[in-house]
Amino acid sequence: MPLFMDIASDSVNKVHEELCGDNVEVRINDESVIVVLADGLGSGVKANILATLTSTIAATMLEEKMGIMDVLETLEATLPKCSVRKLAYSTFTIVQVFRNRMAYILEFDNPPLVFIRDGEIIELDRQAIEFQGKSVYETSMEIEKGDIMAFFSDGVIHAGIGSILNFGWQWEEAADYLLARSYENKKAKDISMSLVDTCYNLYGEEPGDDTTVAVIKVEERKYVTMFSGPPLDMDKDAEIKRLMERGRGKKVICGGTAANIIAREFGEEIVVDFKTMSDRVPPIARIKGIDLVTEGVLTMQETIRICDDYIHNRVGREIFQENNGASMLANLLFNEATTIDLIMGNSINPAHQNPDFPEELTTKWRVTQKLIDMLRYFNKEVNIIYV
């Protein structure tokens, strides 16, 4: 079974700049996962254009199986030149991980990638090639479950210069910080957010440079099968049962009608757990053989809110441990699962929407789509099965 790449990135802009001069591009296909972090020369709009061009060109060409020298030559020929230094200049780090567990890493003038395995920082066997009269370093290696690859723009190692720290935060200190986070069994998003937040604080909340962190954590795949939208045709209830029986990983039911279908088809009772009631969402229920049973729209809306608050640092990780349906659903989908198989009846299939549909069905579709978008933002693989 191929491993899962938990990918996350976070940035803060240079103070007084509306655009970030760094950019991260992620491409995922059947053959590989590609992550490119580019840091454009300077800051603001020009740097953003340089970084976006660099990351997009590199990711697209690698996805089309172009050779790395073709990529480098295209970047040199395409990027606009800096009027002062006469350089088409954007530093970058490229990581491509293939299904056979081989990783290819290319580094050009960014701080070195931090590779963590088994609680240690591993020194990469970098080989130098030439580009624009400078050395570009490439590494090929096999990855293992638990490996962490963290890479960042030089805003990280400039953090604190002239204010909290005389000489900034050195690479070794940033690497040690990442290593400490790796002991805590955190997700990629936790690690990238934590490092960026620390840099922001070292800058005295006025970053002197664009600061971006990208993290790839290698995980085993963990599946969740979730049934949310009941079919309009009751004759399909038996098919729902078969899909749930064959479903991968933990089983989740979201919605009262969906719960009734499963309970009836499996001949089980629904037992409401009133201890999980909160002021925001109804209580969960228990059905034998199902890992989590929640109410529908309200719980999904609150799940989305929890994850959005977490992304924007309005709440900490403790929000995922609260004893209510939304926190339980958020924890299961965002912290435990890598792949979600979502079974949805055609009552909320967008291909079947029309003005005569009840408002509650179109509302449920909108909320479900927001949840899907949020899951994909967290780099979850979401497979939708319409019945």
Q: What is the tens place of the pLDDT at every residue in 237-288?
A: 999 999 999 999 999 999 999 999 999 999 999 999 999 999 999 999 999 9
Mean pLDDT of 94-105: 96
pLDDT of residue 165: 54
pLDDT band at 84 (very low <50, low <70, confident <90, very high): low
pLDDT band at 229 (very low <50, low <70, confident <90, very high): confident
pLDDT of residue 369: 92
pLDDT of residue 108: 93
Residue ranges covered by each domain of the chain: 4-219, 223-386
Q: In this structure, what token pair is assigned to residue 385?
A: 């099965």
Q: In this structure, what token pair is assigned to residue 253?
A: 């039911």
pLDDT band at 227 (very low <50, low <70, confident <90, very high): very high
First and final CA of the chain: distance in angstroms? Answer: 27
pLDDT of residue 232: 76
3-state secondary structure at position 19: coil
pLDDT of residue 140: 97
pLDDT of residue 185: 78
pLDDT of residue 10: 95
pLDDT of residue 82: 61
Helical packing angle, 237-246 and 256-266, nearest 10°: 80
Mean pLDDT of 72-82: 81
Any idea which of 210-219, 254-263, 303-312, 352-361 has the lowest mean pLDDT? 352-361
DSSP 40: E
- Residue 360, pLDDT > 80, answer no
By the 8 A CB rule, do 8 and 215 touch?
A: yes
Any idea which of 48-57, 104-113, 126-135, 184-193 has the lowest mean pLDDT? 126-135
Any idea which of 47-51, 109-113, 323-327, 354-358 has the lowest mean pLDDT? 354-358
- Calculated CA dihedral for residues 356, 357, 359, 361, nearest 10 degrees: -170
pLDDT band at 364 (very low <50, low <70, confident <90, very high): confident
Find where tokens 């441990």 sit. 321
pLDDT of residue 349: 45
Q: What is the tens place of the pLDDT at every residue in 173-199?
A: 999 999 999 988 789 999 999 999 999
Find where tokens 């929407």 sit. 353
Q: In this structure, what token pair is assigned to residue 350?
A: 């967008």
Q: Which fold, 4-219?
A: Phosphatase 2c; domain 1 (3.60.40)
| 5 φ/ψ angles, rounded to the nearest 5 degrees | -100, 110
- Residue 355, pLDDT > 60, answer no
Query: Average pLDDT over the chain, rounded to whole?
Result: 90
User: Which amino acid is it at 255?
Assistant: G
Mean pLDDT of 62-90: 80
3-state secondary structure at position 311: helix
Rounded Cα distance between 236 and 229, Å, is 12
Mean pLDDT of 134-155: 95
3-state secondary structure at position 153: coil
- The pTM of this model reads 0.89
